[in-house]
Structure 1
Amino acid sequence: MKGVKIYEVPVNLQPSHSHGGRDYYKIVLVTGKVLLGYSGRTVTCKDTFLFFANPHLPHSVEHLSRKNKAFACLFTETFIAGRERKGLLQHSPLFRIGASPVIPVSGAQAAFLVSLFQQMLDTSGSDYPHREDMLRNCIALIIHEAMRLQPAEDNRKEKDAAARITYLFLELLEQQFPVDNTGDPLRLRNPHDFANALSVHVNYLNRSVKKVTGKPTSAHIAERIAAEAVSLLQHSDWNIADIAYSLGFEYPTYFNNYFKRVTGKTPTSFRKEKV
Structure 2
Amino acid sequence: MKQNIKRFNEINEFFETTGFEKRTDIADFFVFRFDELPKDNALKMPPYQKDFYQVSLILNSGNAVANINEQSNKALENTLYFLSPDHIFSWQRNMRTTGFVVYFKTEFLNFFSGNFKNEFSFFNLSEQNFLKLDIEQIVELASDFEKLYKEYYTPNAYRVHILQSFLLSLLFKCKSLQEVIGSININPSKKQELVFQFQNLVTNCYIKHKQVGEYAKKLNVSANTLNQNSKEVLGITAKELISEKIIQEAKKLLKYSAEDISEIAYSIGFEEPTHFIRFFKNQTSTTPKEYRNSQM
Into which bin does the TM-score normalised by the smaller protein fall? 0.5 to 0.7
Correspondences of 1:1-275 after superposition (within 5 Å): 1-9=26-34, 10=37, 16-18=44-46, 20-33=48-61, 34-64=64-94, 66-84=95-113, 87-150=115-178, 151-152=181-182, 153=185, 156=188, 157=193, 158-160=196-198, 163=201
What is the letter of the counterpart of residue 78 of structure 2? Answer: T
CA contact (8 A) 1:103 1:146 kept: no
C-alpha distance in structure 2 between counterparts of 1:11 and 1:19, whole Å: 21
Q: Are the aligned partners of 2:128 and 2:200 in contact in 1 as well (CA < 8 Å)? A: no
For 1:144 and 1:155, the matched residues in 2 are separated by: 22
Unaligned runs of 5+ in 1: 168-194, 202-207, 216-275
CA contact (8 A) 2:58 2:78 kept: yes
Shift of 1:70: 2.1
Deviations 1:159-192 (A, max 9, x none): 228939x99xxxxxxxxxxxxxxxxxxxxxxxxx
TM-score of the superposed pair, with normalisation by structure 1: 0.53
Residue 36 of structure 1 deviates from its aligned partner by 1.3
State whether residues 78 and 133 of structure 2, in contact with CA within 8 Å, keep that contact through their aligned partners in structure 1: yes
**Cα offset for 1:137?**
2.0
Q: Residues 225-248 of structure 1, C-alpha deviation per residue, up to 9 Å, x if partnerless?
A: xxxxxxxxxxxxxxxxxxxxxxxx
Between the aligned partners of 2:107 and 2:186, the Cα distance in structure 1 is 29
Cα gap change, 1:107 to 1:200, in 2 (>3 Å)? closer
Q: Tell me the CA shift for residue 29 of structure 1.
A: 0.9
**What amino acid does structure 2 have at the position aligned with 1:49?**
T
Aligned-pair Cα RMSD in Å: 3.9
Aligned length: 180
Is contact 1:36–1:42 with CA below 8 Å preserved after alignment?
Answer: yes
Question: In structure 2, how many angstroms separate the alpha carbons of the residues matched to 1:144 and 1:6?
Answer: 17
Identity %: 12
Q: Structure 1 36/128 Cα, relative in aligned 2: closer, same or farther at 3 Å?
A: same
Unaligned runs of 5+ in 2: 1-25, 206-216, 224-241, 247-267, 270-296
Query: What is the TM-score when the length of structure 2 is the normalising length?
Result: 0.50
